Structure 1
Amino acid sequence: MTVGTADEPGPLLRVRGLTKHFPTRGGRRRGGPVRAVDGLDFEVRAGETLGLVGESGCGKSTTGRLLVRLLEPTDGSIEFAGHDLTRAGRRQLRPLRAQLQIIFQDPYASLNPRHTVGRIIAMPLRVSRADPPGGTKARVRELMELVGLNPEHYNRYPHEFSGGQRQRVGIARALATRPRLVVADEPVSALDVSIQAQVVNLLRRLQRDLGLALILIAHDLAVVRHLCQRVAVMYLGRIVEIGDRDDIYERPQHPYTRALLSAVPNVGHLGPAGRLRLTGEVPTPLDPPSGCRFRTRCPKARDRCAVEEPALVRRGGGQATACHFPESGPLRPERGRATA
């Protein structure tokens, strides 16, 4: 099977109706499924960066694992480079997996402590049966240098590296097969604050220099603004707003997006008195609310929100919003404009 080329028309990744339900059992009685991801539609073009944000438990990481087929979807389709990943068998997936890689959140748990970093970085090359020019060892050393590691440390083990260096090993492993799209699942959240900026800047440089498409899963909205051209906001397994970065950060339409952004001082600039506070707890994905899933915490909820689920559509502005009563003004006064 031939993998598509960079100049092909249309999006590199097209997701339609993506759903993942996990069955549960509670005591003697069987409970309903956990609706972790419940009907996602979005696209990513070649070389584009998309940020996927939302509170913990909204389905971000599950979505990332679905995209690279570490989890099997319950329903929906994932089309990558013109091929349907959801229906591809192992033989058809092999050349596609080389083009679609993932960076995991925890650099401690994602590296095999019994293998040297050289072997870890080389593993995708062996699995995909790649034969890089100059050999596998030369390619691994090249990758180590690319991510800021000393190639002479090829034979060291993960425990001999710091947390930031281990994450660089994970990044090098993801880049080994020259992928076209990389899913980065909270790549800096497990790192010390002092080195997070270094890894973020590394990802930004690699994305730009290598022309990668990048899906960044994160809860840090400042990091997403720094790296991503487009942003999708998730709540309880659904995308509630998606659009260009400036539209999302400067003129958010969904009440949930506005509340998230107002809580970040260097994004919202509203201060404690101007923060948009949400009341109530996040509903369980075992039994999400009828109609709009955000209505139980939304200050604008009306009777219509309980009986009619809002569609993700454009109602003016550059972004698509799933809300019956979207906002129309900027998040903050003009005098408080932030810089990206």
Structure 2
Amino acid sequence: MISTDPDPVPLLDVTGLTKHFPVRGGFPVRRTVGAVQAVDGLDLRVAEGESLGLVGESGCGKSTTGRLITRLLEPTAGRITYAGQDITHASRKDLAPVRSEIQMIFQDPYASLNPRHTVGKIVSAPMEINGIDPKGGRETRARELLEIVGLNPEHYNRFPHEFSGGQRQRIGVARALALNPRLIVADEPVSALDVSIQAQVVNLLQTLQRDLGIAFVFIAHDLAIVRHFSQRVAVMYLGRIVETADRDDLYENPRHPYTRALLSAVPEATASHIPAARTRIRLTGDVPSPLNPPSGCRFRTRCWKATERCATETPTLARVEGDGVGHLTACHYPEVRDEAPEPRQTLAANP
């Protein structure tokens, strides 16, 4: 149950998180000639038992953020606080007790499982590595976890290649649950699966989140799935959070132009005799390179509201008048409900 305290202490608190990957060149000396700004000054909070959706276009830094939170990558700058403990640059020894509480579900179920190991070995490996010997033994616990995620415990001795994609992802979920985590980072856990299987895996994660009280950072680019799973949503563009709000508030009243453009692309099931409720916004141009992002607001090169101020002044996440306390937007000219984009923006009716 999520605390109703107006300002509860978050389970995860990320402030100013930054990750720049150096680009090296030159001959004969390999010197640093630039940096890919994958994540640049990101702030987010996750409460105990809460599910936070992180959405955005491919290449915006979502997966890098997930790996920074789980400390699979070393941050360039910023701060990561977990349960009140600063783990930003914690040593391997200091991270040992935290590792078991922060787990990750990877995007590709085919690449994240060792093909040489049996399912039982894969699921029980975290317990073996951390020296945990549960009541009844590791094999009994592994079989219980397989049953929890909807697999047959009798498949304990099978290998990953004997399972379908959806079943392999369930194995990955069972492995993540092996150490009773408090936080799971799910990095696009269903994007590699067939549409018919996606709902099964998402419903499984939702059930586990509700029954076990696990907090989730759910990374995805499918806005329909995020709305179904997450209680809060953060929208990311080119390494920065541009808007964050409660699920219903964000989907019904998007304030950032980029958020509005994303939501306009979500397919709507309407009868043929009922006109579409909104027009689709087709953004012009490509996403700028993270090697040389635009000054000021990073979305300004594709935004129909951009002015000189957007090029010189970086907008900060702030509450727009009339929005809820948790609805924050990084835009100098936030959207107004039912406001139409300017004519120079290419528009098309929703199919």
Normalising by structure 1, what TM-score?
Answer: 0.92
Higher strand content, 1 or 2: 2
Q: Which amino acid aligns with 1:172?
A: A
1:235 maps to: 237
Q: Which amino acid aligns with 2:317?
A: L
1:54 CA drift (Å): 0.2
2:149 maps to: 147
Change (3 A) 1:23 1:267: farther
Indicate if the aligned counterparts of 1:108 and 1:166 stay in contact, CA closer than 8 A. yes
1:265 CA drift (Å): 1.9
Change (3 A) 1:267 1:80: farther
Aligned mates of 1:272, 1:46 — CA distance in 2: 36
1:320 maps to: 328
1:311 maps to: 316
The C-alpha deviation readout for 1:163-207, integer Å capped at 9, x for no partner, is 100000000000100000000000000011111111111111111
2:281 match: secondary structure: coil
Indicate if the aligned counterparts of 1:15 and 1:40 stay in contact, CA closer than 8 A. yes
Structure 2's unaligned 5+ residue stretches are: 341-351
Q: Which amino acid aligns with 2:15?
A: R
Share of identical aligned residues, percent? Answer: 69
1:270 CA drift (Å): 8.2
Change (3 A) 1:222 1:125: same
The C-alpha deviation readout for 1:106-155, integer Å capped at 9, x for no partner, is 00000000000111011111122212121111110000000000001101
Select 1:295's aligned residue among 300, 314, 320: 300
Select 1:171's aligned residue among 144, 153, 173: 173
Indicate if the aligned counterparts of 1:222 and 1:266 stay in contact, CA closer than 8 A. no
1:197 maps to: 199
Aligned mates of 1:122, 1:313 — CA distance in 2: 45
Change (3 A) 1:30 1:270: farther
Structure 1's unaligned 5+ residue stretches are: 1-6, 333-340
- The number of aligned residues is 326
| Consecutive aligned runs of 4 or more in structure 1 exceeding 6 Å deviation | 267-270
Change (3 A) 1:175 1:330: farther
The C-alpha deviation readout for 1:56-114, integer Å capped at 9, x for no partner, is 00000000000001100000111111111113211221111100000000000000000
Select 2:288's aligned residue among 283, 289, 294: 283
1:249 maps to: 251
Indicate if the aligned counterparts of 1:261 and 1:267 stay in contact, CA closer than 8 A. no
Aligned mates of 1:150, 1:291 — CA distance in 2: 54
Indicate if the aligned counterparts of 2:17 and 2:43 stay in contact, CA closer than 8 A. yes
1:3 maps to: none
1:222 maps to: 224
Alignment of 1:127 with 2:129, yes or no, is yes
Please provide the CA RMSD for this pair: 2.1
